[in-house]
């Protein structure tokens, strides 16, 4: 049993595909299949079952996967411990994120971290919130920044990081631009463009609408925030997105904000990590930069609401 064989088991289990695993590991598919057959012969049982176009782990495969995860986690800890003997100068950090913080917050924060620690390699991996929490539990990332409310799990440490506001965006030529009041019922007249199921942005919106009894008519479902912004800018529909995600477009005038009356749409971005995972010096240094940058995030990322007349109480 070799480390390469265990690495292949983890890759196939993650993707449910021999082809995608071979692409990730830069190994030819025949060589990958040979490694799996050799390991199965050594174990004395098959490790994967074919299910339609994909593959799933057998009971023996799940056992091998569990121990492979532990083995590679220990290797990472060994490498981190050796790096710490030299101080926080070299090392690697794997940061996970759900889509919104991964695309619109962390690149900037990682840039600040790299300015301070230029010899540390940082890898950012992005998936929707549900999938990223699973990756934290599998010890595939050192820590993750995700949105939405998480299911409580005693294996995790979850810390609030910053509050995000979801805002209603439309094309700059949309009739709602300039209107002081958009009622929830008005959304029934529009094509509402949403993220995929599993997205925290979608979950927050649907939960708030459900609590307030607001009907939600889905006009289109897209898997990427950038695609949604493009569709809205083209006049295909309207969307409710993170204020962080639309700040640039609102400032440039390619999207416009409107005010949805009587609906508060906010969520926490949460820092998530394994409770039993040893925090390396590199990970602790990154958390320190995260804490320092928290105060400036709102200042640089708050899009302004459209102009409206002030009431007397606003001075």
The pLDDT assigned to 302 comes to: 45
Longest dimension (CA), the chain: 80
List, for residues 108-149, the tens digit of each pLDDT value.
899 999 998 888 889 999 988 888 999 999 888 999 999 877
Dihedral over Cα of 128, 131, 137, 141: its sign = negative
Q: What angle do CA 256, 261, 264 make, to 5 degrees?
A: 90
Other beta carbons within 10 angstroms of residue 231's beta carbon come to: 19
The pLDDT-based confidence of 298 (bands split at 50, 70, 90) is low
Q: Which two tokens stand for residue 288?
A: 């320190």
Q: Where are the domains of the chain?
A: 1-71, 164-267
pLDDT: which is higher, 297 or 125: 125
The pLDDT-based confidence of 87 (bands split at 50, 70, 90) is low
The pLDDT assigned to 232 comes to: 94
The pLDDT assigned to 202 comes to: 85
Q: How far is 30 from 13, CA to CA, in rounded Å?
A: 17
The pLDDT assigned to 90 comes to: 67
The pLDDT assigned to 308 comes to: 33
The CATH number of the structural domain formed by 1-71 is 1.10.10.10
- Structure-token match 């810390």, residue found: 159
The pLDDT assigned to 12 comes to: 85
Residue 32 has pLDDT above 60, yes or no: yes
Tell me which DSSP letter residue 188 carries.
G
| Average pLDDT, rounded, for the chain | 83
List, for residues 167-191, the tens digit of each pLDDT value.
999 999 999 998 878 888 888 888 8
For 43-71, what is the mean pLDDT?
Answer: 84
For 90-102, what is the mean pLDDT?
Answer: 87
Residue 313 has pLDDT above 70, yes or no: no
Q: How far is 191 from 189, CA to CA, in rounded Å?
A: 7
Percent of the chain with pLDDT over 70: 91
The pLDDT assigned to 304 comes to: 41
- Residue-wise DSSP of 223-267: S-HHHHHHHHHTTS-EEEEEHHHHHHHHHHTSSEEE-BTT---EE
The pLDDT assigned to 311 comes to: 30
Architecture of domain 164-267 in this structure: 3-Layer(aba) Sandwich (3.40)
Percent of the chain with pLDDT over 90: 25
Residue 235 has pLDDT above 60, yes or no: yes
Q: How far is 297 from 219, CA to CA, in rounded Å?
A: 32
Residue 230 has pLDDT above 90, yes or no: yes
- Structure-token match 């007397």, residue found: 312
The pLDDT-based confidence of 314 (bands split at 50, 70, 90) is very low
Backbone phi, psi, residue 160, to 5°:
-60, 140
169, 255 Cβ separation under 8 angstroms = yes
């Amino acid at each position: 049993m070799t480390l390469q064989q265990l690495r292949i088991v983890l890759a196939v289990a993650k993707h449910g595909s021999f082809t995608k695993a071979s692409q990730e590991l830069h190994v030819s598919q025949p060589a990958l299949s040979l490694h799996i057959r050799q390991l199965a012969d050594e174990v004395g049982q098959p490790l994967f079952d074919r299910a339609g176009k994909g593959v799933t782990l057998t009971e023996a495969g799940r056992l091998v996967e569990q121990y492979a995860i532990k083995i590679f986690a220990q290797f990472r800890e060994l490498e981190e411990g050796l790096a710490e003997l030299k101080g926080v100068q070299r090392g690697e950090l794997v940061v996970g994120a759900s889509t919104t913080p991964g695309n619109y917050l962390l690149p900037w924060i990682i840039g600040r971290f790299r300015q301070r620690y230029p010899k540390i390699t940082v890898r950012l991996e992005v998936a929707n919130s549900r999938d990223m929490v699973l990756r934290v539990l599998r010890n595939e990332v050192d820590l993750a920044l995700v949105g939405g409310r998480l299911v409580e799990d005693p294996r995790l440490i979850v810390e609030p990081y910053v509050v995000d506001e979801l805002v209603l965006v439309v094309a700059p030529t949309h009739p709602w631009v300039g209107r002081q009041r958009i009622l929830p019922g008005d959304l029934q007249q529009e094509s509402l463009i949403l993220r995929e199921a599993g997205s925290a942005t979608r979950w927050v919106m649907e939960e708030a609408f459900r609590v307030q009894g607001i009907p939600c008519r889905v006009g289109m479902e897209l898997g990427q925030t950038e695609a949604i912004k493009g569709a809205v800018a083209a006049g295909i529909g309207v969307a409710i997105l993170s204020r962080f995600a639309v700040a640039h477009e609102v400032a440039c005038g390619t999207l416009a904000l409107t005010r949805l009356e009587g609906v508060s749409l906010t969520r926490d971005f949460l820092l998530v990590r394994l409770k039993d995972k040893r925090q390396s010096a590199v990970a602790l240094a990154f958390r320190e930069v995260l804490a320092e940058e928290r105060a400036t995030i709102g200042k640089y990322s708050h899009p302004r609401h459209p102009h409206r007349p002030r009431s007397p109480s606003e001075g």
